[in-house]
Homo-oligomer: A and B are copies of this chain.
Amino acid sequence: MPVNVAINGYGTIGKRVADAVMKQPDMKLVGVAKTSPNYEAFIAHRKGIKIYVPQQSIKKFDEVGIPVAGTIEDLIKAADIIVDATPNGVGAQYKLIYQQLQKNAIFQGGEKAEIADASFSALCNYNEALGKKYIRVVSCNTTALLRTICAINKVSKVEKVRATIVRRAADQKEVKKGPINSLVPDPALVPSHHAKDVNSVIRNLDIVTMAVIAPTTLMHMHFINITLRDRVEKKDALSVLENTPRIVLVSSKYGAEATAELVEVARDLRRDRNDIPEVMVFSDSVYVKDNEVMFMYAVHQESIVVPENIDAIRASMRLMSAEDSIRITNESLGILKGYLI
């Protein structure tokens, strides 16, 4: 019998996880919770998804012609597990209700690590999360860092990571957030919080991150320098990156390098919503010097955590092993490894 999954917070992350849940053989989407009757709600309704709203919002939804299936509490009760994709910090308030109703829950990276029994990255610590009632999928940037670090760790033991993160300032739909013409240190303090977030999954790793916000909406980019225990060869690093699921390589030979060009590739490939949940490593950027491996990659912030949420559900509910879950998630969502282009 499939697990009943509810999505609380149907925005950028929530709507993607909802779609992904509907593609899993072992899951059923019982409904989504929404607070404002906007176009996301209206399109969900047109797709036949059941919408639950706060008691006091029922009228607003009625007025614009979006039928309501019940209250958020009704939804939580009907589910075995909730994926909480509410805005930063709101999940912490909902946790009390999940606990009261004795439901498992998956939180997002906008919540503090302490909210959960385990922070989660499928390729790094699936097993640690097995059976945990509350799991937190780390943020988009941290998910990307963890994927590449855990991959490179297979070449030789990772001893030190230094990374610069150039963050997109807003998601494409977010028109109120800036900057319009500025770089913004995020923060002007070193290390940025991303290092600590990586440490919530790989404890004791020597990692320092610096971050800056750039006026773009499409993708983040990371510039990473990993010091390994041993000297390695470029081909070994490349080979591991080529063979790690959820990482794709992008060669310069087809002229797609800029993040806007990668989005165009996704459009031409008919990816849903032009999403690319894989970390996109620029294959020409891989540079090895003694025991240092350096490279750059692009991160599609809107979709990268979607497969992790699906795996986190399985880990929490002890549905299957890491290998099986990752394989089924990848197949159902069309997530690749190897060369994207």
- Chain A residues at the B interface, C-beta cutoff of 8 Å: 15, 36-43, 64, 162, 164, 166, 169-170, 172-185, 187-191, 208, 210, 212, 214-219, 221, 223, 225, 250, 252-261, 263-265, 267-270, 272-274, 282, 284-287, 289, 294-296, 298, 341
Contact = CB atoms under 8 A, between A and B. Distances in A.
B212 A223 contact: yes
A154 B177 CA distance: 41
A265 to B, nearest CB: 5
A15 B268 contact: yes
* Most B C-beta atoms less than 10 A away, residue of A218, A225, A258, A269: A258
Given A254-B38, A258-B182, A212 B273 contact: no
Contact of A36 (B177, B183, B255, B295): B255
A201 to B, nearest CB: 21
Contacts of A257: 184-185, 187-188
A259 B183 contact: yes
Contacts of A169: 178, 180
B282 A188 contact: yes
Given A189-B284, A190-B286, A264-B172, A181 B39 contact: no
B217 A216 contact: no
Contacts of A256: 38-39
A268 B19 CA distance: 10
Given A177-B179, A208-B294, 9 more contacts: A38-B255, A166-B212, A175-B258, A177-B178, A180-B181, A180-B215, A181-B181, A214-B216, A270-B272
A144 to B, nearest CB: 14
Contacts of A188: 250, 252, 257, 282, 284-285, 296
Nearest to A36: B255
Summarize A's interface: helix, strand, loop or mixed: mixed
Contacts of A64: 253-254
A196 to B, nearest CB: 14
B190 A294 contact: yes
A40 B267 CA distance: 10
Contact of A183 (B164, B172, B258): B258
Nearest to A182: B260
Nearest to A177: B178
A15 B269 CA distance: 12
A172 B38 contact: no
